[in-house]
Amino acid sequence: MKTDVILAGVGGQGILSMGAIIGLAALEEGLHLKQSETHGMSQRGGAVVSHVRLSDRSVYADLIHHGQADLILAVEPMEALRQLPFLKKDGYLITNTDPFTNLPNYPEIGKIQEALDQLPKVLKIDATDLARDIGHAKSSNIIMLGALSAFVHISVQSFEKGIETVFAGKGEDVVEFNKQAFHLGRKVALTTV
């Protein structure tokens, strides 16, 4: 088993937290893991990307090459489009449909969606609206993580342990609403795909 995942978004959207949760969950499962991050200008809403490589065998390289990602998970549609060269021909794109318009020349969202709709395997989720619906607007990234969980060989229990570890310092309420968000995203993915 080997799964190469790219997480994409902008600063402040929780990409690094998502990577940490996946990493902790993978280690809980006894998997081998390599992770690399790039986050230039992340404090100002700049692009943030994390390469996460999971396997039941040793993983020797941190980075995923173009055309080799099994999954791209984007919490923002333009960042999904930006990472597409990394996706395998039969790879899956999971993307939030809500744009984070932090640029004055942000592309027209209709054109981005049109380009993403050309992919053979794409799951589009309005995670921002779902997060608002459950009363935790900041948990849209964990909803997306829940969707990703439907595509990787890591148990729900291990993801929950990762969520507990990453958010433990913020209190039990934060841990619990993030678990709720995770399960919502997983349910959406399992009922859509």
CATH superfamily label, 2-191: Pyruvate-ferredoxin oxidoreductase, PFOR, domain III (3.40.920.10)
pLDDT at 1 over 60: yes
Q: Where are the domains of the chain?
A: 2-191
Among 30-34, 42-46, 86-90, 127-131, the least confident range: 42-46
Residue 49: helix, strand or coil by DSSP? strand
Q: What are the pLDDT digits (tens) for 10-34? A: 988 899 999 999 999 999 999 999 9
Please state, as a whole number, how many other Cβ atoms lie within 10 Å of the Cβ of residue 21: 28
pLDDT at 39 over 80: no
Helical residues (DSSP H) of the chain, grouped into ranges: 15-28, 77-83, 109-117, 127-133, 140-149, 156-167, 172-192
- Strands across the sheet containing 2-10: 32-39, 47-55, 2-10, 69-74, 87-96, 122-125
Provide the token pair at 159. Answer: 């993801």
pLDDT at 189 over 90: yes
Instruction: Label residue 175 by pLDDT band (50, 70, 90).
Output: very high
The pLDDT assigned to 40 comes to: 66
The pLDDT assigned to 104 comes to: 82
